[in-house]
A and B are shown apart, each in its own frame.
Chain A
């Protein structure tokens, strides 16, 4: 027989938990839901757009009544549970309905705090919390003119804005001198105040309310300083309090909220709790993202998988109040040991403040231009050492040696047909309609539905802006950590640590030990795990070709029509007539339709049929060529200029060094593709300063530059150090490459890796610490011992069957 699960509270957190549970264990429970409001589950953070007349109630429903029916969930809508009988494991509602449970989930949410003022119970004094409040506001605005909103926080300002749009004359009363003091500092608040005043909103700052008066409807509001104001409506938006009465009446331990542990379990082991009603490690919650994470953890335990833990971390708020962009995160006021970086342009109404402590970013406030919010937040979470970028970081990621592809900084004024995602041709209107139609909350969901930012990802900031603007209110879309893929909750770093600590040496062993949710993994995790195995256990791990992307499985680059491209290695880009003749003859023999010179100084033979690959490789092999690895997450090419051998400006033998470096590094697997260049003088014809590592020769030696990228986001390299000899340059390159192989996340280029860990970190391990550099280089040489067998020769000789049909039928 199935166990019985009862959910009290038909809100976002509770129902999200059910959704997660149904994904994990659809058959486990008979589910019953009690909700006080007579509706299905709706998106509470969308109430502001409803009040503003931009959306209807129907449009903000997440799960309509049909959803409950489809999932065999019994919904008691409009019934309030009044008693939990823990001894007999049953709950009793106000209309006498009784339901038994094996597991109970409390998601009773929060209720608005009503100031205990004389007159607070008058008709016309309301809060801003549910559909009923919105109805009251809309109704009142039709017949009456003046409204007062008590509370200049996020919710209060949204209520005020909505009422103003409904034609009312609105005054916001705020007890402090700073609006939204949970999210903003004084300067940002002042900018916002001016902007809202210009829209017609009135403010009484530093005003404390003493009482409210009226006969059968509110008439006046009185302040402690003796002044008063006529009004027809009072909306109290001074905060929320977790709803704990029901839990407390049943003897379940609650303080400010219902106390739960890291598994979302209350003090009664059969009872769980999620959402705004809980208190976890002394923290209570009001934003959406933490609630969704709690839902995930709780569902995992309800499904008796027992592996997830809820860990609350720093949260950010990206929000839209009445068309104003705001972003804030962390400790934005700082303390005596912190330093502020501040940018203020009052005419453009842009304000940015970064709070830095011990070379790390600890707080951010952005007003007017929030496109870099996600980036700053990432720097905070990763605790990146920002000392190297602090002189430019205030101007945004685009100014960190980076020119991007010229995207807009704000989506606000863009028309619906403006292209946001250049890779997949997704326009703003596509995104906004997908958000509304499919009730999307997160960047990942928008990616899945629209493909916006699903390819190169450079428009992710813009997509998040659109998301924030569509969802309005206190929306937060930043998970506390990024899971490697949908098969696990563990991050890249956690998986890598586990591989080492638990000595996991095969992918099946890892999936078993770390309780992977899909037995076979998926196309995202398998290539990553295969790489981590290879880099963790070099010369020991047996490569799994089925966990590699097709290009690395067949050692050629798949093209849009299913043919392949073949790029032979040409060391340092230096070739000769004999090699060129061989390439020409082989191209003729296999009727190669396109022959092209690549950006990395190699020759690309495009349009080769799969079954020709092994034959072609055999021919290339006998002409002396090996694979160019133009298809792999591996060393690609070492690009060179002619250097001192020919060039009248050349200072060192850059071609010679490039060839030596390529002979040392070819065949090595890396987290993502890896490009090197060597230039013979600072004119830098080999463009070494946009490579993963670049050498710029100078008269006195060799400059090493790291973390460059010429792709999605152009990023100039950071200067690592200068060395005197070729031998040293080679050792530093090997050590640096090994550090990246060990620390980089799969599919993370060196540019984002260095931005994540900080240049200082790399310098301390590769430059300052000689013993460590030598150890790193040694590990690189060791793993290269078996890596430099040409895969083409091997496949042409041994694995021909991978390239031909199993059978032809006529």
Chain B
């Protein structure tokens, strides 16, 4: 597995997200209340809303466009909504985030 450096964990707000720009589109990198890091392709499975702009709680994010709630571990929509967005593996070493693209 090859790891790409994203940046310091401290650069992402707690319960927030920043965007990683890649040639294949944006990846939303999330930091939870417990400082866990998750990464999702930055498009909601519903209408492609930017998940990076949503409200983060537990291991979930609510899409800013129509409030679909996406589980950050699986990328799956929760509740009765159905759909899935791509997930990426991440790790944090010495306060720096790495992602496997």
Q: What is A's interface to B at a CB cutoff of 8 Å?
A: 438, 448-449, 518-523, 526-527, 545-547, 549-550, 553-554, 558, 560, 562, 801-802, 805-810
If A526-B57, A546-B55, A807-B20 touch, whether A562 touches B11 (CB-CB below 8 Å) is: no
- 15 residue pairs of the A-B complex, CB under 8 angstroms, read A519-B58, A520-B57, A520-B58, A522-B57, A522-B62, A545-B13, A546-B56, A553-B53, A558-B65, A560-B47, A560-B49, A562-B50, A805-B20, A806-B12, A806-B29
Interface mask (B36-77 → A, CB under 8 Å = 1, otherwise 0): 000000000001111001111110001011010100000000
**A residues within 8 A CB of B7?**
806-807
Contact A546 B50 (CB under 8 A): no
Q: With a CB–CB cut-off of 8 A, which chain A residues contact B101?
A: 809
Q: Is the CB of A807 within 8 A of B21?
A: yes
CB <8 Å contact, A558 and B64: yes
Contact B21 A805 (CB under 8 A): yes
Q: Report B-chain residues with C-beta under 8 Å of the C-beta of A547.
A: 55
Q: Quick one: given A806-B7, A806-B12, A809-B101, are A523 and B33 in contact (CB under 8 Å)?
A: no
A448-B79, A549-B55, A550-B54 known; A809 and B13 CB under 8 Å? no
Given A518-B58, A523-B57, A806-B6 in contact, is the A546-B15 Cβ separation under 8 Å?
Answer: yes
Q: How far apart sit A805 and B52, CA to CA, in the bound complex (Å)?
A: 10
Residue numbers in A under 8 Å from B56 (CB-CB): 520, 546
Q: Which residues of A contact B6 (CB under 8 A)?
A: 806-807
B22 touches A809 (CB 8 A): yes
A560 contact set on B, CB distance < 8 A: 47, 49, 65
State whether B18 touches A809 (Cβ < 8 A): no
Given known contacts A521-B57, A806-B6, what 12 new A-B pairs fall within 8 Å (CB)?
A438-B80, A519-B58, A520-B32, A523-B54, A526-B57, A527-B55, A546-B16, A550-B55, A558-B53, A560-B65, A807-B6, A809-B4
User: With A560-B47, A805-B19, A806-B11 known to touch, is A523 a contact of B80 (CB < 8 Å)?
Assistant: no
> Are A546's CB and B13's CB within 8 A?
yes
Q: How many A-B residue pairs have CB under 8 A?
A: 83
Chain B nearest Cβ from A564, distance in angstroms: 10
Contacts of B90 in A (CB 8 A): none
Complex CA distance for A810 and B23, rounded to whole angstroms: 6
Nearest residue (CB) in A for B97 is A806
Nearest residue, chain A, Cβ from B32: A520
Residue in B closest to A810 when the chains form the complex, CB atoms: B23
Instruction: Select one of B20, B48, B50, B69 contacting A523, CB under 8 A.
Output: B69
- Minimum C-beta distance from A798 to chain B (A): 14
A547 to B80, CA, bound (A): 24
- Verify A449–B80 contact, CB threshold 8 A: yes
Partner pick for A550 among B22, B23, B33, B53, CB 8 A cutoff: B53
Q: In the bound complex, do residue B64 and residue A549 qualify as a contact, i.e. CB atoms below 8 Å apart?
A: yes
Q: In angstroms, how far is the closest chain B Cβ from the Cβ of A233?
A: 42
Interface SS of chain A: helix, strand, loop or mixed? mixed
Given the interface pairs A809-B4, A809-B21, A809-B22, the reply to whether A519 lies near B67 with Cβ below 8 Å is: no
CA distance A780 to B5 in the complex (A): 49
List, in ascending order, chain B residues with CB within 8 A of A802's CB: 13
Q: Residue on A with the closest CB to B23?
A: A810
Complex formed: what's the CA distance from A546 to B56 in Å? 8
Across-interface contacts of B15 in A (CB, < 8 A): 520, 546
Q: Point out the residues of chain A lying under 8 angstroms from B23, CB to CB.
A: 809-810
Q: How far in angstroms is the closest Cβ of chain A from B43?
A: 9
A809 to B6, CA, bound (A): 9
Max chain B Cβ within 10 angstroms of own Cβ: one of A805, A807, A808: A807
CA–CA, A550 and B66, complex, Å = 12
CB distance from B14 to the nearest CB of A (A): 7
Q: B32 — which chain A residues lie within 8 A by C-beta?
A: 520
- Evaluate contact between B20 and A806: CB separation under 8 angstroms: yes
Q: Shortest beta-carbon distance, B34 to chain A, in Å?
A: 9
In Å, the complex CA distance between A9 and B53 comes to 48
B residues near A518, Cβ cutoff 8 Å? 57-58
- With both beta carbons as reference points, the residue of chain A lying nearest to B47 in the complex is identified as A560
Complex: chain A residue closest to B33, CB-CB: A520
For B69, the chain A residues whose CB sits under 8 A away are: 523
Check A562/B53 contact, CB under 8 A, given A523-B69, A808-B21, A809-B4: yes
Given A520-B33, A806-B29, A562 and B49 contact (CB-CB distance below 8 Å): yes
* Cβ contacts under 8 Å, B53 to chain A: 550, 553-554, 558, 562
Instruction: Give 8 nearest A-B pairs by CB, closest first.
Output: A523-B62, A520-B57, A806-B18, A523-B55, A808-B21, A550-B53, A546-B15, A562-B50
Closest to B42 in A: A562
Report yes or no: A805 in contact with B57, Cβ–Cβ below 8 A: no
Nearest CB on B from A171, distance (A): 45
Bound state CA distance, A801 and B12, in angstroms? 9
Which chain A residue has the least Cβ–Cβ distance from B12? Answer: A806
What residues on B are CB-neighbors of A448 within 8 Å?
Answer: 79-80
In the assembled complex, the CB of A355 is this many whole angstroms from the nearest CB of chain B, namely: 39
CB distance from B55 to the nearest CB of A (A): 4
The closest CB in chain A to the CB of B67 belongs to A523
B58: chain A residues at CB < 8 Å are 518-520
B59 — nearest CB in chain A belongs to which residue?
A520
A558: chain B residues within 8 A (beta carbon): 50, 53, 64-65
Cα of A522 to Cα of B60 in the assembled complex, Å = 9
A807 to chain B, nearest CB (A): 5
Q: Which residue of B lies closest to A450 (CB)?
A: B80
Kindly name the residue among A519, A522, A546, A806 whose own CB sees the greatest number of chain B CB atoms within 10 A.
Answer: A806
Complex Cα–Cα for A554 and B50 (A): 14
Minimum CB–CB distance for B51 against chain A, Å: 10
**B18 — which chain A residues lie within 8 A by C-beta?**
805-806
- Give Cα distance in the complex from A562 to B58, angstroms: 24
Min Cβ gap A238→B in Å is 40
> Which residues does chain A contribute within 8 Å of B64, judged by CB atoms?
549-550, 558
Q: Tell me, rounded to whole Å, the shortest Cβ–Cβ distance linking B36 to chain A.
A: 12
Taken residue by residue from 77 to 98, chain B's Cβ proximity to chain A (1 for < 8 Å, 0 otherwise) reads as 0011000000000000000000
Is there an interface contact between B33 and A519, defined as CB atoms closer than 8 Å?
yes
B11 proximity list for chain A (CB < 8 A): 801, 806
Chain A positions within 8 Å of B33 at CB level:
519-520
What is the CA–CA distance of A562 and B12 in the complex, to the nearest angstrom? 20
CA distance A522 to B62 in the complex (A): 9
Smallest beta-carbon distance B6→chain A, Å: 6
> Nearest chain A CB to B31's CB is how many angstroms away?
10
Q: Across the interface, which residues of B come within 8 angstroms of A807, CB to CB?
A: 5-7, 20-21
Taking each of A522, A550, A801, which has the highest tally of chain B beta carbons within 10 Å of its own beta carbon? A550
Please measure, in the bound complex, the distance between the C-alpha atom of A808 and the C-alpha atom of B55, giving whole angstroms: 23
A810 vs B24: C-alpha distance in the bound complex, in angstroms?
9
Q: A802 to B53, alpha carbons, bound, how many Å? A: 10
CA distance A651 to B4 in the complex (A): 69
The CA-CA distance from A547 to B16 in the complex, in Å, is 10
Residues of B within 8 A of A523 (CB): 54-55, 57, 62, 67, 69
Which residues of the partner chain A approach B13 to less than 8 Å between Cβ atoms?
545-546, 802
Measured CB to CB, the closest approach of chain A to B38, in angstroms, equals 14
**Docked complex Cα distance between A808 and B26 (Å):** 9
Query: Which chain B residue shows the least CB distance to A561?
Result: B48
B32 smallest CB distance to A (angstroms): 8
Task: Say how far A810's CB is from chain B's closest CB, in angstroms.
Answer: 6
State in angstroms the CA–CA spacing of A682 and B74 once bound together. 59
Nearest Cβ on chain A to B95's Cβ, whole angstroms: 14
Cα distance, A521 to B32, chains bound together (Å):
12
State A519–B60 Cα separation when bound (angstroms): 12
Q: How far is the CB of A581 from chain B (nearest CB, A)?
A: 32
By a CB distance below 8 angstroms, the chain B residues around A810 are 23
B22: chain A residues at CB < 8 Å are 808-809
Nearest-neighbor residue (CB-CB) of A546 within chain B: B15
